[in-house]
Amino acid sequence: MKVSELKHSGLKKWVEEAQTLMTPDTVEVCDGSKAEYDRMIQIMKDAGLATELNPAKKPGCVLFRSDPSDVARVESNTYIASKSQNDAGPTNNWKDPAELKKTMTDLYKGCMKGRTMYVIPYSMGPVGSNIAKIGVELTDSPYVVANMHIMARVGTKVLDVLGSDGFFVPCYHSVGKPLGQGEKDNGKWPCAPLEKKYISHFPETREIWSYGSGYGGNALLGKKCLALRIASVLARDEGWLAEHMLILKITNPKGDVKYITGAFPSACGKTNLAMLIPTLPGWKVETVGDDIAWMKFGPDGRLYAINPEAGFFGVAPGTNNESNRNAMETIKKNTIYTNVAITPDKDVWWEMIGYDAPGKLIDWNGNEWVQDKNNKDQKPAAHPNSRFTAPASQCPAIAKEWEDPKGVPISAFLFGGRRPKTIPLVNQAKNWIHGVFMGSIVGSEVTAAALDVKAGTIRRDPFAMLPFCGYHMGDYFKHWIKIGQGKDESKLPKIFFVNWFRKNDAGKFIWPGYGENSRVLAWIFDRCDGKGGAVETPIGTLPTPDAITRPDGVSDADMKEILNVDIEGWKKEIEDVRANHYPKFGDKLPKELYSELDAIEKRLRG
Residues annotated as catalytic (active site), given as ranges:
268
- Strand, helix or coil for residue 518: helix
Please name the amino acid found at residue 353: I
Alpha-carbon separation of residue 522 from 59, 284, 352, 460, 526 (angstroms): 37, 10, 29, 28, 6
> Beta strands of 46-126 (E only): which ranges?
50-52, 62-64, 78-80, 116-124
Q: How far apart are CA 470 and CA 150, in angstroms?
A: 25
By CB atoms closer than 10 A (0-12, 13-18, 19+), residue 20 is: exposed
Q: How far apart are CA 190 and CA 597, in angstroms?
A: 50
Residue 394 DSSP class:
G
Contact criterion met (CB below 8 Å) for 110 and 147: no
Q: How far apart are CA 443 and CA 464, in angstroms?
A: 8
Contact criterion met (CB below 8 Å) for 103 and 5: no
- 3-state helix, strand and coil shares in percent for the chain, rounded to the nearest 5: 30, 20, 45
The set of residues, in sequence order, having a beta carbon less than 8 Å from that of 160 and lying 6+ positions away, is none
Which pairs from 586-590 meet CB under 8 Å and 24+ separation?
A: 586/90, 586/474, 587/474, 588/89, 588/472, 588/474, 588/475, 588/478, 589/474, 589/477, 590/474, 590/477, 590/478, 590/481
Tell me, letter by letter, the H, E, C secondary structure of 533-571.
CEEEECCEEEECCCCCCCCCCCCHHHHHHHCCCCHHHHH
Contact criterion met (CB below 8 Å) for 122 and 158: yes
The set of residues, in sequence order, having a beta carbon less than 8 Å from that of 514 and lying 6+ positions away, is 269, 272, 276, 322, 323
* 55: number of Cβ within 10 Å: 11
Beta strands 336-338 and 62-64 are parallel
The set of residues, in sequence order, having a beta carbon less than 8 Å from that of 69 and lying 6+ positions away, is 191, 193, 194
Which of 518, 514, 523 minimizes the C-alpha distance to 270? Answer: 514
Which of 86, 100, 294 minimizes the C-alpha distance to 207? Answer: 100
By CB atoms closer than 10 A (0-12, 13-18, 19+), residue 556 is: exposed
The set of residues, in sequence order, having a beta carbon less than 8 Å from that of 167 and lying 6+ positions away, is 133, 134
